[in-house]
Structure 1
Amino acid sequence: MFLLGFDLGSSSVKACLLNAETGTAVASAFFPETEMAIEAPQPGFAEQQPQLWWQNACRASKAVMQQAGVQPADVKAIGISYQMHGLVVVDKAFNVLRPSIIWCDSRAVPYGEKAFLSIGKDRSLNHLLNSPGNFTAAKLAWVKANEPGVYAEIDKFMLPGDYLAARMTGDTCTTPSGLSEGIFWDFLEARPAEFLMQYFGFDTSLIPTIKPTFAEQGRLTASAAAELGLAEGTPVTYRAGDQPNNALSLNVMEPGEIAATAGTSGVVYGVSAEAKPDPQSRVNTFLHVSHTAEAPRYGVLLCVNGTGILNSWLRNHLLRGGVSYGEMNEIAAHAPVGADGLVCLPFGNGAERVLENQDLGASFQGLQLTRHGLPHLVRSAQEGIVFALYYGIQVMESVGVGLKTIRAGEANMFLSPLFRDTFANLTGAVIQLYNTDGAQGAARGAGLGLGLFKTREEAFHGLKVVRTIEPDMRAQEGYREAYGRWLTALEAK
């Protein structure tokens, strides 16, 4: 008996086939092998073609089925994780009306900020727990104002995972957690935020059918099953944004538990029982996947857009793709802690929420041509990423999310010894790395949604700690001094 999870990212679509009885992954694949294109028709814009997501999901699905030699009928349920905050709009015939405006697109910032002021800070924070900022609702407002012909044709707006599920099942639906991440959810009323819809002039009919995170959300159509290499009628039983799902994949479900990831963007995500917003909306609060009315669970999310993408940029442009990421880590290790005074601000992938929606761009500061070389550039980039995350962690702590142990998958930037040591030594937190990823988490979520797993222990059978990084208190002073220089550079911007 098997479960299939998809993780729709901005770089690729990954699939994982999980043996439900042993709790272990038997096959995984991702496509494309090079990163998916992000189109930028104007500065600050970031778009992707939803059809590419579907094509790569089909390729990944067929690849894992072939790897494992599993029969389609043996796959009992499907789970979907997806890049958060994106916007997909379709007409009544389910035609995509324009490219998806994805998470790192900055064009909607003025629309969200105007809504925050017009609706009122207190009402926004009390009901939405966030400013509309640069989230999905503000992106839809941008379409309404700038592409009225497109807007007039919209039958439903969707998040990226809603689109992928609809391609599979023919049904357009969403979840409360998804609506909360798009800033469409009224936390006090526990329903879509009608006052926000009215402010923007959105008809509530644009909202897809709302279904629970863990529940049957449709079944594969014959045509979709053929394209995916699966069986017609296989149920989709779980759907969540990539960061709530990353937390689920790490068994981060209860207050005080913390998850982190450092792929294209970097995220620290903590679970709280208290709905407490940040007054400046630098960190954001959404419904966690484990939220219920009886036991409220909120996900407090810190996101830094420019993390792994900075490392990738250095590799592809400065190093011309001539070295591996592992070799980059070895190069960086030749520079001392603090990179001999070289400071990197790792932004440059759109407006940063932790900086109150400023887009500062990426920069290196204090470069000395007689002292600094390639090791200093690479090390300062990795340290700058950690420093940016730590800057946001301090905001998280101000809204009551404590930091003692951080769980992460052994992947992406957490494969770098320098990165994880800097993270542990600066924060003072123990870092536990697990043998999991977003696609595997989505597969476990599918088992929970199907009712195959009756308890949390059953769902996370097979999840193991593969590495633990303890902070070295003797090294903390050097990292704190380097962070102080970084903070001074940031505040001077």
Structure 2
Amino acid sequence: MKYFLGIDFGGGASKATLLREDGEVCAVSSCEYPTYYPQPGYAEQDPQDWVEAACKNIQAVLAESGIRPQEIAALALDAATHTAVILDEDFHVIRPAIYWTDTRCIAETEYLKEQYAGLIEKQVLHHPDTIWTLPQLLWLKKNEPDSWRQMRKILFAKDYVRHCFTGDYVTDYIEAQGSMMFDSQKMEWSKELCGILDIDIERMPKIVSPSDQTGCITGIAAKLTGLCEGTPVICGTTDTVMEVFAAGAVLKGQMVVKLATAGRICVVTDRPYPDANLVNYSHVIDGLFYPGTATKSCAASYRWFRDTFGGDYKELDKKAAKIPPGTDGLLFHPYLNGELTPYANPRLCADFIGIRASHTKAHFARAVMEGVAMSMLDCKTMLDHLCIAHEDTAAIIGGGGKSPIWRQMLSDVLGIRLLTMKHADSSFGSAMLAGTAAGIFENLEQAVGLCNKTVAETVPCTENTKKYAEIFQKYKAVQKALEPIYNGEIK
């Protein structure tokens, strides 16, 4: 029997999934790591935390499953895109990685809009924003000249961990699309965009396919992980495309709703849809794309609330469930790190509006959940506005989707049916990718057909959908009223 490992690096934790060739998951393990906020608007992670978390997770799934390391045919990695690791000539990390939710590079983003908007939109199919690697590196060059002078190589989160396991220096083309330094038309590093940073493209990692084998577990990595030296390692790709794939969305029109650290609604299409409010990436299925909308602080908002005000998720869910839809007039906008769709504004701030003496902690917990759901409705409304055809059913993925109350709330707010899969996280998708790359699954579609299983469905309550539609208008009105304040237009 053959086994495959998928390893994900998310916003707050790494997860490993061990998949058997018959499509059954044999073991999973998760290990949290921190995000550091040294200044307002900053968000950084330590790459060594990723490596240590991956090693712990691999050891854990081997111990839980009881299989021999020799039985693992391949492993693949994935992570949130845009997160660059800058390295010296010997691949030593120079500074913490700037995470994609970081908003410090507002000035650099504005500069790119003013000077290079046409070039970027033509080659990248995206519009400049603080989430992209290019403005982040531009900030680094301007503000940390010592770090910049030391830099000789650039990798992205999952690629750095894989390098530590294999010694390779590559990335995949979907990851590269998230850097804003890649020509998505020619499918190669852009001399013009890299030239903005005065970076020689020879210093950039080699571009490969997500399913390509890039190396094997080294002797040192074998000791750290418990894997066998020589185990094949597949390049892997970004976490969102692996989630879309894991959720079974491999046909045009299929939709995935992601309720995780960040929130996404993605629709599988046969072409990209360049727009300031969309993120366009290639699908792992040749010829397909998954343009999507995004909200920055989704489950991250609920985690922030838990960490700041105390409690655990089950307790908060239980209390929030007793509060009626609409939270007795309390509104929350989840803009903890600015917002993407449909505002593309890193200056927006989170807020609670409509507080009364009668409101309790349970009200605030529910308000956070409803506010995130409203933000997701903002996302879906944009997809509909752009006439991107999709089914009225979507797979729901992400940690937030495990909450029955939040899942029902989201179904009510969006007015669509949500399908819950037995396994649909990105590490599961990476495990399927590894199995396909190893030749055990005939192709990606066959892997989905064998491994993907629906276990529940959530149907919207028509009455609640109508009520939330009215609340959404208030939600939008408050956002519009506060935006000039956050932009500094009103002193």
Q: CA deviation at 1:162?
A: 0.9
Paired residue secondary structure (1:285) = coil
* Residues 141 and 351 of structure 1, relative CA distance in 2, 3 Å threshold: farther
Structure 1 residue aligned with 2:441:
453
Deviations along 1:95-136, one digit per CA (max 9) or x if unpaired, are 011111111111123213311221234x33232111232201
Structure 2 residue aligned with 1:428:
415
State yes or no: 1:392 paired with 2:405: no
- Taking structure 1 as the reference length, the TM-score comes to 0.93
Counterpart contact for 1:49–1:100, Cα < 8 Å: yes
Given residue 343 of structure 2, which amino acid in structure 1 is its aligned partner? L
Whole-angstrom CA distance in 2 between matches of 1:418 and 1:399: 30
Deviations along 1:245-299, one digit per CA (max 9) or x if unpaired, are 1111112223212122212221222222122211xx22211222224xxx2x222
Q: Among residues 131, 141, 145, which one is paired with 2:142 in the alignment?
A: 145
Whole-angstrom CA distance in 1 between matches of 2:97 and 2:461: 44
Structure 1 residue aligned with 2:344:
356
Whole-angstrom CA distance in 2 between matches of 1:167 and 1:74: 22
Whole-angstrom CA distance in 1 between matches of 2:95 and 2:445: 43
State yes or no: 1:28 paired with 2:15: no
Q: CA deviation at 1:238?
A: 4.0
Q: Among residues 189, 200, 205, which one is paired with 1:203 in the alignment?
A: 200
Paired residue secondary structure (2:7) = strand
Equivalent residues in 2 for 1:286-325, closer than 5 Å: 286-291=281-286, 295=287, 297-318=288-309, 320-321=310-311, 324-325=312-313
Structure 1 unaligned segments of length 5 or more: list them. Answer: none
Whole-angstrom CA distance in 2 between matches of 1:150 and 1:413: 37
Counterpart contact for 2:337–2:348, Cα < 8 Å: no
Whole-angstrom CA distance in 2 between matches of 1:298 and 1:194: 24
* Residues 306 and 457 of structure 1, relative CA distance in 2, 3 Å threshold: closer
Paired residue secondary structure (1:240) = strand
Deviations along 1:395-427, one digit per CA (max 9) or x if unpaired, are 223334334221123x52112233222222222
State yes or no: 1:263 paired with 2:252: no
Whole-angstrom CA distance in 1 between matches of 2:282 and 2:190: 14
Equivalent residues in 2 for 1:409-424, closer than 5 Å: 409=397, 412-424=399-411
Backbone CA RMSD of aligned residues: 1.7
Deviations along 1:415-457, one digit per CA (max 9) or x if unpaired, are 2233222222222221111011221111011112222211345
Structure 1 residue aligned with 2:48:
51
**Range that drifts further, 60-69 or 143-152:** 143-152
Q: Among residues 61, 64, 68, which one is paired with 1:64 in the alignment?
A: 61
Structure 2 residue aligned with 1:285:
280
**Range that drifts further, 3-12 or 184-193:** 184-193
Q: CA deviation at 1:354?
A: 3.9
How many residues of Structure 1 are paired with residues of Structure 2 in the alignment?
Answer: 477
- Taking structure 2 as the reference length, the TM-score comes to 0.93
State yes or no: 1:484 paired with 2:473: yes
Equivalent residues in 2 for 1:65-464, closer than 5 Å: 65-121=62-118, 123-134=119-130, 135-278=132-275, 281-291=276-286, 295=287, 297-318=288-309, 320-321=310-311, 324-350=312-338, 352=340, 354-369=342-357, 371-403=358-390, 404-409=392-397, 412-436=399-423, 437-460=425-448, 461-464=450-453
Paired residue secondary structure (1:120) = helix
Whole-angstrom CA distance in 1 between matches of 2:383 and 2:439: 34
Following superposition, which runs of at least 4 residues in structure 1 exceed 4 angstroms of deviation?
Answer: none
Structure 2 unaligned segments of length 5 or more: list them. Answer: 483-491
- Paired-residue identity, %: 26
